[in-house]
A and B are shown apart, each in its own frame.
Chain A
Amino acid sequence: MTDVVATTLSAAPMQDDVTLDFRGQTVVLSGGSRGIGLAVAKAFVRSHADLRVLADDPTLTSVVAELATSAKGKVSGRIGDIAESGAATAMLSDIPKIDVLIANAGMERLTPIDDLSAEAEEYFRRVIAVNVIGTYLTVRAAVPKMRSESRIILTSSVWGKSAVGEFGAYIASKHAVIGLMRSLARELGPRGIRVNCVCPGWVRTEAALKSLRQMSERSGIGEADILDEVLTSQCLPGFQAPDDVPGLFVFLASSLSRNITGQAINIDRGEFLG
């Protein structure tokens, strides 16, 4: 509602964006052997990217072979532990340039504060080592191969902004990932590199189902009842499947989002509004 009269309409349509085509672009994805990561891998294969998948899981070899059967671009995998110093650098050593980095690898464990076992402490350290330090090391290995207009996407969680009990390590780690993303967005923005987070809600993955089982065991409330309570808190009905999530990754990797940086966007059917 301004007093400016439209006489000409500007520029060309966004034809380069509409197909979300990543032909000729190198996408590096960590934690791509299962769950959300595997669904993201499939989406980028469909979008014709050259894809490098990193995972600590020996099944990666067969996952990559399966992905390659339908791929127009190159698909390759490297097995290693991103929490180990130098591992991410080694897994990317043969890649000269990276257009998109998706640091998605993460782990989820129950870590109640009243569990005084050595095992609980070890889990806590391991969750932080993989989710926070591993993410940092993956980004650090990738940035030298990036240029202006490269994109970094970190997988956080709605639990990067909200919390439930007994998941202290995981929730601390996902809050930390958002903090890391915000700092990196400021640091890399002047170079034209964008950094954002995807925050999935409850998604039907092995990790989420395991957490659900553990929550049920500790609380004595049935798994179905816990799940029902979660789904009732969502605005949109139903339990998200891994394939419901990649659209946001693809958007943040595309030039459609070229003016978006420093954001943590929820894809959770409206579980957490903020």
Chain B
Amino acid sequence: MSALSLRLDDKKALVVGASSGIGREVAREFVLQGADVTVLADEEAIFEVADCLGQETGRVIKALRCDITDRDLLRANLAAIDCLDILVHNAGFERLTPLGDFKSEDLFRRIIDVNLLGAYYVTNELAGRLRDGGRVIYTASTYSKYAIARMAAYASSKHALVGMLRSFSHEFGGRRITVNAVCPGWVNTEFSNRSVRQIALDTGRSVEDVGNEVLRLQAMTGHLEPREVVGGFLFLASDLAKDITGQTIHVDRGEYQD
């Protein structure tokens, strides 16, 4: 009997939102596990990420740059992909949108556009090109299940993303394609650190104080690094998870119990 394996040899994977943080680490791990990876982001840095990853692993990593909320541009870029085994949709955007701040309406719309509609557009475009037995994995958030103050747009978008994936899991199930999400907790990324700084500024507290408050919610100590979230994605992409669909897996050191 052979050992259970997490290898992704010969799998074609697309990681959307891979220019930094969690997405970049997921792309890297998938390449190391043998997948043929394409990365996509709305930033020039995506080409550098692909180069770095290519140099490190000796593999060819294709990079696409586009704004996923521009449907025509997205379609043109995704034309480069003929078929796909694993779609990781990680693109997302976090900003505080306090109630009563009338300047944040545009921001609210933009967060919903990128986090929810962007995920819908990408999945919709690629649905017909996903192979039977494939995987769709979204990055949701602990804030897809609960919320703190000033997170209305972000929490709405992530709650909605979970609702959407549950519906998609029915639609894709007949082809044995699973649809799940990883829900990271507080991870040391530019986005979340920016939110913590903003909360500290708005409430007149220290950044350290706000950060510690978040960490105290966890059952286990310590601030997560992007790389430490990757295991959830690799598991869901692997054969081990073939019977898991419509689920959310929290990688948050026990911040939220689901």
Q: Is the CB of B176 within 8 A of A236?
A: yes
B20-64 vs A, CB cutoff 8 Å, 1 = contact: the mask equals 110011001100110000000111010011001100100000000
Q: Is the CB of A7 within 8 A of B252?
A: no
When distances are taken between beta carbons in the complex, the residues of chain B under 8 Å from A17 are 6, 231
State whether the Cβ of B234 lies closer than 8 Å to any Cβ in chain A: yes
Q: How many inter-chain contacts with C-beta < 8 Å in the A-B complex?
A: 198
Interface hits, A17-34 → B, CB 8 Å: 17-21
A43-69 vs B, CB cutoff 8 Å, 1 = contact: the mask equals 101111000000000000000000000
Closest to B249 in A: A265
State whether the Cβ of A234 lies closer than 8 Å to any Cβ in chain B: yes
Q: B137: shortest Cβ distance to chain A, in Å?
A: 14
State whether the Cβ of B131 lies closer than 8 Å to any Cβ in chain A: no
User: Of B4, B246, B254, which one neighbours A20 at CB under 8 angstroms?
Assistant: B4
Q: Is the CB of B32 within 8 A of A245?
A: no
Q: Is the CB of A5 within 8 A of B243?
A: no
Q: B161: shortest Cβ distance to chain A, in Å?
A: 13
Interface residues on B, range: 35 or more
B-binding segment of A77-85, A109-117, A131-139, A189-197: A189-197
Knowing A2-B190, A18-B7, A235-B173, the reply to whether A9 touches B247 (Cβ < 8 A) is no
Report the Cα distance A273→B92, complex, angstroms: 23
Q: Is the CB of B28 within 8 A of A5?
A: no
Q: Is the CB of B20 within 8 A of A4?
A: yes
Q: Is the CB of B190 within 8 A of A5?
A: no
Q: Is the CB of B28 within 8 A of A267?
A: no
Interface hits, A212-260 → B, CB 8 Å: 234-237, 240, 244-248, 250-251, 254-260
When distances are taken between beta carbons in the complex, the residues of chain B under 8 Å from A260 are 231-232, 249-252
State whether the Cβ of B178 lies closer than 8 Å to any Cβ in chain A: yes
With A250-B240, A259-B251 already in contact, 19 other A-B pairs whose C-beta atoms are closer than 8 Å: A4-B190, A6-B19, A6-B20, A7-B48, A9-B56, A14-B234, A190-B220, A235-B246, A236-B176, A237-B174, A247-B241, A251-B231, A256-B6, A257-B251, A259-B229, A259-B252, A267-B244, A269-B173, A269-B245
* 30 CB < 8 A contacts A-B: A1-B17, A2-B19, A2-B21, A2-B189, A5-B45, A6-B20, A14-B234, A19-B3, A46-B1, A185-B219, A189-B221, A189-B254, A235-B169, A244-B242, A255-B231, A256-B6, A256-B232, A256-B235, A257-B232, A257-B251, A259-B220, A259-B253, A260-B231, A260-B250, A260-B251, A262-B250, A270-B173, A270-B178, A270-B245, A270-B247
Task: Give me the interface of B with A, judged by CB distance under 8 Å.
Answer: 1-7, 17, 19-21, 24-25, 28-29, 32-33, 41-43, 45, 48-49, 52-53, 56, 91-93, 114, 166, 169-170, 172-174, 176, 178, 185, 189-191, 218-221, 224-225, 227-232, 234-235, 238-247, 249-254, 256-258
Sort A-B residue pairs by CB-CB distance and give the 4 closest, nearest first: A247-B240, A189-B219, A235-B173, A256-B231
Task: Give me the interface of A with B, judged by CB distance under 8 Å.
Answer: 1-11, 13-14, 17-21, 42-43, 45-48, 70, 182, 185-186, 189-190, 192, 194, 234-237, 240, 244-248, 250-251, 254-270, 273-274
